[in-house]
């Protein structure tokens, strides 16, 4: 009885060679697909974490409020001035505050 568990499958593999090879190729392709998806996901995760690490997790960016309709055009924008920067510098735990301006175009 236990002998049949081994002999019957081996006999079928020898008898249906094309089917056995196609099954084996399908299994190999499936394993390769799973491994490559896991590798791709891990690589993308590391790339995104690297970008966040380069930015720094101890930084806070403050920008003015406004309705932006197109790049560089903001209607009723509230500006941030040097007095606002000084208020941020006085907040407990802030080591450094820097102002900068960006433009698009």
Q: Is 83's pLDDT higher than 60?
A: yes
Asked whether residue 11 falls in the same domain as residue 46, the answer is yes
pTM higher than the cut 0.95? no
Q: Between the CA of residue 46 and those of 33, 38, 40, what are the distances in Å?
A: 20, 12, 10
Question: How many domains does the structure of the chain reveal?
Answer: 2
User: Is the same domain home to 71 and 42?
Assistant: no
9 and 51 assigned to the same domain: yes
Quick one: 13 and 50 in the same domain? yes
Determine the structural domain holding residue 92 and report its residue range.
60-105
Question: Same domain for 32 and 48?
Answer: yes
| pLDDT, tens digit, 9 for 90 and up, residues 26-80 | 999 999 999 999 999 999 999 998 888 887 777 777 777 665 555 555 555 667 7
Which tokens go with 90? Answer: 């006085």
Residues in Cβ contact with 9 at an 8 Å cutoff, skipping those fewer than 6 apart: none
């Amino acid at each position: 009885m236990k002998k049949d568990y081994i002999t019957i499958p081996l006999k079928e593999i020898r008898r249906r060679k094309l089917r056995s090879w196609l099954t084996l190729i399908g299994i190999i392709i499936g394993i390769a697909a799973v491994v490559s998806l896991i590798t791709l996901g891990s690589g993308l995760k590391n790339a995104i974490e690297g970008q966040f690490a380069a930015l720094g997790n101890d930084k806070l960016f403050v920008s003015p409020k406004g309705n932006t309709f197109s790049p560089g055009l903001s209607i009723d924008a509230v500006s941030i001035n040097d007095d606002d920067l000084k208020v941020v510098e006085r907040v407990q735990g802030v080591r450094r505050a820097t102002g900068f301006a960006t433009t698009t175009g």
